[in-house]
Structure 1
Amino acid sequence: MAFRLKDRDRRPAIFASVGALVLAASISGCSSTTGGEPPCLPPAYSLTPTEAKPGLSVTVAAPDADCNPRYGKNARIQVSVTDATGVEVVNTTSAMNDAGGFTYTFVVPAGTAVGEAAVTAMPYNIDWCDDTGRNNRVARARDVPFVRVSCAVPVKPLTITH
């Protein structure tokens, strides 16, 4: 007789695994395989508040990076929120500055499932943690050395209540 967990029963394990990957990447600082400037990752973002109910506002924000990510004057941040049942309830882009700083506020949609939601915020349409062999952040810049890095997708928990 096979034992099968429901998707809902796996959610804490999935969040723990993602959290462990993010922690491991932050501890290692992401590894560099070539010379040049150190890896320039997006700045860490925060959520305020970290607990909300449908209809309330949540702000996702990040300061400027301590390095030069060169996102450009038309840079965008992609923010997504996936509720406790796995439904993506927010998926949008907002303005981000050249150094990666941004502030985006959204209203928790009605019908968002109670429990722990996952919030991600990543530079939009940019291979922000490039491990493909080309540096999308400095396209057309031939005199800038490429630094190869590898990272996990950043995820912040947002507790949804009634």
Structure 2
Amino acid sequence: MDPSGAKAGEKVTVAAPDAGCNPRYGDNARIQVIVTDATGAEVVNTTAPMNDAGGFTYTFEVPARTAAGDAAVTAMPYNIDWCDDTGRNNRADGAAVTLLGASCAPPTKPLGITR
């Protein structure tokens, strides 16, 4: 995320490189970006394009209504069961796969909001 702090009206870019594990998200994959301000209010909740390997870049303008303080920015694949507890990969189309344990905590980064 760049920058790690901003004021209302300034632009913030959230990005991730392609994953090294071939997640196969598909041609129409989306990333969901949620920004929650210091009061707990969601000030951004949108989706943006993500490539098949999970890479994306999304830029947003900090809304005027965003409270000053520590905001949280979360970005994760949209409409995908990315933490499947059934013991099978729900995107592998029946292919035999070895699953590794993973954290189901949403990936969140802090964003300092100032006036």
Specify the TM-score bucket, using the shorter chain as the normaliser.
over 0.9
Aligned to 1:98: 52
Q: For residues 101-152 of structure 1, what are the alpha-carbon distances to aligned partners after superposition, in whole Å with 9 as ceiling and x for unaligned?
A: 00000000011000000000000001113223342222xx222325153312
Q: What is the match of residue 143 of structure 1?
A: 95
**TM-score, length-scaled by structure 1:** 0.67
Contact 1:81 1:120 in 2 (8 A): yes
Report the structure, 1 or 2, having the larger strand content: 2
Residues 3-57 of structure 1: per-residue CA shift (max 9 Å, x gap): xxxxxxxxxxxxxxxxxxxxxxxxxxxxxxxxxxxxxxxxxxxx10000000000
Gaps of 5+ in 1: 1-46
Does the 8 Å CA contact 1:131/1:150 hold for their aligned counterparts?
no
1:56 aligns with 2:10: yes
Listed as ranges, the matches of 1:36-51 within 5 Å are: 47-51=1-5
1:160 counterpart residue number: 113
Maintained 8 Å contact 1:130/1:150: no
Structure holding more helix per residue: 1
Q: How does 1:68-83 map to 2 (within 5 A)?
A: 68-83=22-37
Q: CA contact under 8 A between 1:80 and 1:88: conserved in structure 2?
A: yes
* Structure 2 residue identity aligned to 1:143: A
TM-score (structure 2 length as normaliser): 0.93
User: Equivalent pairs: percent with the same residue?
Assistant: 71
Q: Greater relative contact order (Cα 8 A, min sep 6): structure 1 or 2?
A: 2
* Distance in 1 separating the partners of 2:69 and 2:11: 17
Query: Partner of 2:91: helix, strand, or coil?
Result: helix
Structure whose CA Rg is larger: 1
| Aligned partner of residue 121 in structure 1, secondary structure | strand
